Amino acid sequence: MEKHVLNTMEDPLAAARESTVEMLQTRKRTFSLPQPFYNDARLFALDMQEIFEKEWLFAGMTCEIPTKGNFMTLDVGDNPIVIVRGGEGTIHAFHNVCRHRGSRLCTKDKGKVAKLVCPYHQWTYELDGRLLFAGSDMGSDFNLDQFGLKPVHVRTAGGFIFINLSDEPPAMDEFLETLEHYLEPYQMDNVKVATESSIVEQANWKLVIENNRECYHCNGAHPELLNSLQEFDDTDDPRATPAYKALVARKQADWDREQVPYQLQRFGQRNRMTRTPMLDGIVSMTMDGKPGCDKLMGRLPNADMGSLRILHLPNSWNHFMGDHAIVFRVLPLGPQKTLVTTKWLVHKDAAEGVDYDPDQLRRVWDATNDQDRQLAEENQRGINSKAYQPGPYSETYEFGVIDFVDWYATRMLENLEYDTPSLQLAQG
């Protein structure tokens, strides 16, 4: 008892860790998670520590910081982060925390600077994180070299920026190499953000991801999206129709001739990418299915390129088409609050009002995001009830949700330093 009390005092989440492990080890695998995973503050704190502070996160696009001195910021829970383009095009990521008294350095979402200067006492850092100036009042023995910014691991591929806040990030080289290959036709050095939106959903981040990983709800909720989107993206899907399989075969022959990759690639349950046709005769996720931007992306020969779908758990899904791309980032704000940011990308030379209309470009996903927000929030309200108990997923329609929850459960247990081969997940 004394040891347990001592551990709890040293780690306020010790009891929550023990109960989380027990719930994950005894859960029914094809059922939704127990209630605390969706609304408990202590379990949310564990999510932030064991998932969002240990896994690779999608942070933004390289095109958002195109030249030296451009920066962007984001918050991973209580951790403010700054990503900056340094000399020779190198991208750096740091904890956005001054080494003097801890003030945030960069207070805007994005901008451009010559140096990183703390607004509190003007400590000044080079773009590579070295402390350059701390005033003359620190004493003659003060060593600038000991107070550089604390770095954050950062990797880039295919125009994507990923960050990791842990000391020893998991490997992701194979995924990054494949991502680079699949996005080569889009020439990601030549894109820009045409428009973006951020919405706050009053729902746990896992409900936001679960909602994205299935289209079971699409017929009843997303009329705008279903003007263009196929409900499935794999010919092995048991719901795939003969017409869809014939369309896939025809389009894949076109993509072979055009040397554009399309094969389904999986990297465990964390990452997935595949190119799939949209509805026959539809070329883009717009209200009329026609191109939303007249200037095509990269070296793509025409707008009819289907959608390259890219999944990165725990916080991103994406659609790349011939005329534009849409990238999504999820960041938890609280046990029942999640920030979803959407960015629409076009060729960097596309002219607003000439080649594209931002309002037309975003209409489908503005509607879809709002519909998904309502669904997730109603899901959260029901889960908060004392009547809630885990319910069964459809293994046909919701296999993507099952994959996500399996990934989450496995990573939580591994990151909590339990030996995964010994774990016995109850089969539901």
Helix runs in 127-228, H state only? 173-183, 205-212, 218-221
Judge if 281 and 344 occupy the same domain: yes
Collapse the DSSP code of 320 into the 3-class scheme (helix H, G, I; strand E, B; otherwise coil) and give the result: strand
Q: Does residue 335 lie in a domain region?
A: yes
Closest CA to 187 of 267, 296, 104, 94: 296
Considering the domain architecture, whether residues 354 and 225 belong to the same structural domain is answered as: yes
Per residue of the chain (428 residues), give pLDDT as tens: 334 444 445 678 888 999 999 999 999 999 999 999 999 999 999 999 999 999 999 999 999 999 999 999 999 999 999 999 999 999 999 999 999 999 999 999 999 999 999 999 999 999 999 999 998 789 889 999 999 999 999 999 999 999 999 999 999 999 999 999 999 999 999 999 999 999 999 999 999 999 999 999 999 999 999 999 887 788 888 788 899 899 999 999 999 999 999 999 999 999 999 999 999 999 999 999 999 999 999 999 999 999 999 999 999 999 999 999 999 999 999 999 999 999 999 999 999 999 999 999 999 999 999 999 999 999 999 999 999 999 999 999 999 999 999 999 999 999 997 533 343 333 33
Pair (195, 320) in one structural domain: yes
The residue with tokens 């929030």 is 377
Q: Is residue 179 part of a domain?
A: no
Residue 346 near residue 353 (C-beta atoms within 8 A):
no
Q: Is 224 left (phi over 0), alpha (psi -120 to 50) or beta?
A: alpha
Structural domain count of the chain: 2
Residue 242 lies in a domain: yes
Assigned domain for 144 exists: yes
Instruction: Return the CATH number at 130.
Output: 2.102.10.10
Residues 268 and 212 in one domain: yes
Task: Determine, yes or no, domain membership for 310.
Answer: yes
Domain span at residue 297 reads 188-383
- Among residues 383, 389, 391, the alpha carbon closest in space to that of 428 is found at 391
Q: Decide if 286 is inside a domain.
A: yes
337 shares a domain with 209: yes
Query: Do 229 and 312 belong together in one domain?
Result: yes
Q: How far apart are CA 162 and CA 173, in angstroms?
A: 12
CA pair distance 237, 397, nearest whole angstrom: 9
pTM of structure: 0.94
**CATH number of the domain within which 322 lies:** 3.90.380.10
193, 130: one domain: no
